[in-house]
């Protein structure tokens, strides 16, 4: 019965036209849209403690996106933009601060909303989101608690720009030019970090297996790259990367030097843009896709580094 019910829901949804197939009336398409901002805890202004150089980079990144031709003239749509400063928990003290946020685009429907005093309308319903992040790569790269990850097999990369598509989103990872954004994780680093994570998770037997394998490594094998394969984690450590389908384990290049606390620098920028799909407002998705395509990657790379970026 449950499967029949789910099938009936899916059939009903498939029979509905996508929101973008429903034309926007002329008055709504011409109406000016509102633009509102939020910061930590959905406040309309950031606190004094949140106004760090890195948070200012996040605001600058947000404003760069909002200034694209696709979003600058808000007729027919309204925008909400957020900037959140995230500081590491006590167990990760010494890690850099992170900034993340998003631009939500929602089409206007003048028959279902009222304008503000300036004659600008709010958006209607839920809209798609263009997400942006500084120093926060776990969502994009699927990093584990040690910051290790494997790069997608299908990807485009060059000049400090990595692009790939996954789960209905297009990801762009931006790192400085002239410096590898990602470096291999060695056998020694992987086994040691994984053992520590297993101990923390309450799996001492598995942690001991990792430490035993680490202790048995020759110096050359200890520094050799670690690869993910179908074999057990400690099997064939001297030849894992030569196995069919092996995928090197990577991490963000420590040489990016992101600092910590108030001295945190922008080491990596992440953009996550929704792809077109059958559910949701494709009109607004196209708008955000266009905005992302209008961004100058060189200008974004210039934000990376110190207070004014490497380009300042």
pLDDT value for 90: 64
What's the CA dihedral at 110, 112, 116, 120 to 10 degrees?
Answer: -30
One domain for residues 228 and 272: no
Say if 306 falls within a structural domain.
no
One domain for residues 171 and 193: no
pLDDT value for 89: 75
Per-residue pLDDT of 193-225, as tens digits, reads 999 999 999 999 999 999 999 999 999 999 999
- Residue ranges of the alpha helices (H) in the chain? 2-15, 26-30, 53-66, 69-72, 138-141, 187-200, 204-215, 219-223, 282-293, 297-301
- For residue 268, how far is the Cα from the chain centroid? 10
One domain for residues 207 and 67: no
pLDDT value for 308: 45
Say if 149 falls within a structural domain.
yes
One domain for residues 213 and 70: no
pLDDT value for 262: 81
CA dist list (Å): 203 to 83, 199, 208, 230: 38, 5, 9, 21
Nearest to 252 by CA among 133, 167, 91, 111: 133
Q: What is the rounded distance in angstroms from the CA atom of residue 312 to the CA atom of residue 309?
A: 5
CA dist list (Å): 159 to 166, 254, 300: 21, 18, 13
pLDDT value for 91: 60
One domain for residues 38 and 157: yes
One domain for residues 262 and 227: no
Q: How many CA atoms lie within 13 A of 191 on its CB side?
A: 24
Q: How do the pLDDT tens digits run along the chain, 312 residues long?
A: 434 344 443 444 444 444 445 789 999 999 999 999 999 999 999 999 999 999 999 999 999 999 999 999 999 999 999 999 998 876 667 788 999 999 999 999 999 999 999 999 999 988 999 999 999 988 899 999 889 999 999 999 999 999 999 888 999 999 999 889 999 999 999 999 999 999 999 999 999 999 999 999 999 999 999 999 999 999 999 899 999 999 999 999 988 877 888 889 999 999 999 988 756 789 999 999 999 999 999 999 999 986 444 333
One domain for residues 49 and 96: yes
One domain for residues 108 and 65: yes
One domain for residues 41 and 118: yes
- For residue 248, how far is the Cα from the chain centroid? 21
58 with 101: CB under 8 angstroms? yes
Report the number of distinct structural domains present in the chain.
Answer: 2
pLDDT value for 167: 86
Query: Domain residues for 238?
Result: 186-248
């Amino acid at each position: 019965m449950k499967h029949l019910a789910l099938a009936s829901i899916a059939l009903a949804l498939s029979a509905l036209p996508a929101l973008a197939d429903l034309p926007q009336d002329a008055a709504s398409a011409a109406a000016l849209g509102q633009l509102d901002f939020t910061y930590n805890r959905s406040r309309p202004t950031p606190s004094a403690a949140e106004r760090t150089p890195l948070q200012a980079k996040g605001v600058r990144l947000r404003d760069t996106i909002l200034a694209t031709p696709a979003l600058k003239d808000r007729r027919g749509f309204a925008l909400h933009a957020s900037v959140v400063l995230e500081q590491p928990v006590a167990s990760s003290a010494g890690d850099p601060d992170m900034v993340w946020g998003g631009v939500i685009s929602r089409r206007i429907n003048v028959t279902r909303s009222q304008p503000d005093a300036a004659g600008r309308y709010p958006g209607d319903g839920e809209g798609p989101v263009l997400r942006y992040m500084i120093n926060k790569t776990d969502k994009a790269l699927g990093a584990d608690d040690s910051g290790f990850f494997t790069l997608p097999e299908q990807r485009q990369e060059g000049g400090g720009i990595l692009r790939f598509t996954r789960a209905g989103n297009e990801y762009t990872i931006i790192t400085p030019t002239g410096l590898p954004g990602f470096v291999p994780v060695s056998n020694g680093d992987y086994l040691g970090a994984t053992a520590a994570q297993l101990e923390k998770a309450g799996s001492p037997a598995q942690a001991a297996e990792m430490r035993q394998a680490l202790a048995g490594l020759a110096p050359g094998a200890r520094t050799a790259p670690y690869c993910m394969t179908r074999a057990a984690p400690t099997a064939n450590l001297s030849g894992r990367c030569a196995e069919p389908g092996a995928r090197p384990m990577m991490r963000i290049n420590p040489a990016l030097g992101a600092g910590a606390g108030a001295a945190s620098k922008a080491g990596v920028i992440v953009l996550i843009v929704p792809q077109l799909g059958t559910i949701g407002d494709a009109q607004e998705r196209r708008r955000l896709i266009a905005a992302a395509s209008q961004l100058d990657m060189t200008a974004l790379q210039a934000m990376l580094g110190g207070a004014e970026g490497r380009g300042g």
